[in-house]
Amino acid sequence: MSLFPATAAAKAADRRATKPAPRPAPRGQRAAYGFIAPLGIGFAVFYFWPMIQTFYFSFTEFGPFGGHTWTGTDNYARVLRDVTVWQALGNTLIYCGIGLVALPLAIVVAALLNRRGLRGVAVYRALYFVPFVTLPVAVGLVWNWLYNGDFGLLNEILGWFGVDRHYWVSDPSTAVLAIGAVMVWSTTGYYLIIFMAGIKAIPRDYYEAAELDGAGPLRRFFTITLPLLSPTLFFASVICMIQSLQTFDLIYIMMGEKNPAVGDTQSVVGLFYKWAFIENAQGAAAALAFLLMLLIAGLTYLQFRLQRKWVHYG
């Protein structure tokens, strides 16, 4: 399966286009290379060459006066032995797990918005999407303010229910959860749009037939919506996982530098940033980045393998 759901028309055109063609005229060929050259050069300079370089860096040590010295697999050994790496990896997996909560939330909202004759669908959709569009730094700052232990609104509201005042983002035991909640809050709208598109593709007849058979809303949701939405859900969970394994922005903003919980909330990319650009351990950072890529690739592969067990393709 391709990573992107292609439209039927595009697929048909794709087939047409890839049919073996009569030998093309060399002039036309040259024009085609001209069309892809600007992008190709950009990719070569900023993506392909850096890929090779990162791989090379990961086997070297960057000297204080510049220059890379070959150190073999030392960096990898360092990464695997370092406790902060394992801690960051653990945190990243927790963020990933919490981040996935956005999916069921988005599905439920999408199903509610799919109710026949419901008014204001566009307004709801717009409002739910706003957090995703907003500058992540601004999101982090406003949530830090809401979480503030002394004057934050959250403590005030929880106080009405008898919950004690708490320093949400500076207490290591709640910081990861607090950041994860903001992740869920800011991405739910994005998945909502993906699921709304998926639900729209389910034929109305199925629901009408089920209704005639006396199936209630809950039953219709579990027997029609959920199974028929499973390819979309699969796609969304792959994207969600890849994105949250690379999480950095929110943590960087909400933690700052002086927060006592900094180490306890660090993600893998956060650690990479620290090593590469603050502690000048470029070789080890490159090794860490490379291992992260392998992890993402591995988990994505696993998801593709597992999809056979639960994804229904109509």
d(CA 214, CA 310): 26
Which residue stretch of 74-82, 94-102, 172-180, 231-239 sits at the interface with another protein (rule: CB under 8 A)? 231-239
Contact 104, 195 (CB under 8 A): no
* DSSP three-state, residue 181: helix
> Which residues in the 168-197 window bind another protein by CB under 8 A?
185, 188-190, 193-194, 196-197
Q: Which of 93, 215, 293, 299 binds another protein (CB under 8 A)?
A: 293
CA distances to 31, 38, 42, 245, 293 from 45, rounded to whole Å, are: 22, 11, 5, 26, 20
d(CA 213, CA 297): 45
Rule CB under 8 A: say whether 77 interacts with another protein: no
User: With CB under 8 A, what is the number of residues at the site for another protein?
Assistant: 102
Helix axes 102-113, 121-133, angle to 10 degrees: 160
Rule CB under 8 A: say whether 242 interacts with another protein: yes
Rule CB under 8 A: say whether 215 interacts with another protein: no
Q: Which of 1, 77, 80, 138 binds another protein (CB under 8 A)?
A: 138
Q: Would you tell me how many other CB atoms lie within 10 Å of the CB of residue 137? A: 13
Q: Which of 87, 177, 248, 264 binds another protein (CB under 8 A)?
A: 248
Rule CB under 8 A: say whether 298 interacts with another protein: no
Q: Which of 63, 67, 72, 117 binds another protein (CB under 8 A)?
A: 117
Q: Which residues of 199-237 are buried (b: 16+ CB within 10 A; e: fewer)?
A: beebeeeebeebeeeebeeeebbeebbeebbbbbbbbbb
Least Å distance, CB 269 to another protein, is: 5
> Quick one: 3 or 83, whose CB is closer to another protein?
3
Which residue stretch of 28-36, 84-92, 222-230, 301-309 sits at the interface with another protein (rule: CB under 8 A)? 28-36
Rule CB under 8 A: say whether 231 interacts with another protein: no
Q: Which of 167, 224, 252, 266 binds another protein (CB under 8 A)?
A: 252
Contact 60, 144 (CB under 8 A): no
Contact 223, 215 (CB under 8 A): yes
> Quick one: 136 or 227, whose CB is closer to another protein?
136
d(CA 79, CA 294): 14
Rule CB under 8 A: say whether 45 interacts with another protein: yes
